[in-house]
Amino acid sequence: MEPASYQETQTGVWTLVVLFVVGALELKFGLNLQPEWFTLALVLGLGLLAVIFSSMTIRVTPEAVEWWLGLPLMKRRVPIADIASVSAGQVGWLTGLGIRTDGRNVTWIVTGRSVVILTLANGRHTRLGSNEPERVVEAIRAALGEAK
């Protein structure tokens, strides 16, 4: 693994709060309404969702931009050479949280509206949620300068 020139982890606090409240309500009231195995499965499922969607990490190296939600099981990587341009931006409230796609564009976000917009050489866009989009853009532009 090459050293990171920049790394940020964004925490989805509201995602954790909502999942915790739903899990607590299910434990409190659900045991009376459905079988115990269903309540246990639901609470374990909510726990898994909390692990996956509670944070997002963006890592910039001289060779690539990498990102993943929660544990790096769904890690994505774009080589610096495949990035045509990068900018900071905002997404609308209706974009939602998680991973969203419309066929040509993909958005990865766990909280907030600020994103880093990667325009790839193939014309596609990837938007990555960030608390510090300007710093991520700066790190990617520095890597782009080194790659050329």
Three-class secondary structure of residue 49 per DSSP: helix
**Mean pLDDT over residues 96-109, rounded?**
85
The pLDDT tens digits of the residues spanning 34-50 come to 777 887 788 888 888 88
Contact indicator for 115, 130 with CB cutoff of 8 Å: yes
Contact indicator for 9, 56 with CB cutoff of 8 Å: yes
What pLDDT was estimated at residue 31?
Answer: 63
Q: What percent of the chain has pLDDT over 90?
A: 46
pTM score: 0.80
The pLDDT tens digits of the residues spanning 51-95 come to 777 899 999 999 999 999 887 878 999 999 999 999 999 988 877
**Mean pLDDT over residues 11-23, rounded?**
81
Which position has the token pair 């080589």?
A: 79
What pLDDT was estimated at residue 148?
Answer: 47
The two tokens of residue 144 are 């782009």
As a whole number, the mean pLDDT across the chain is 86
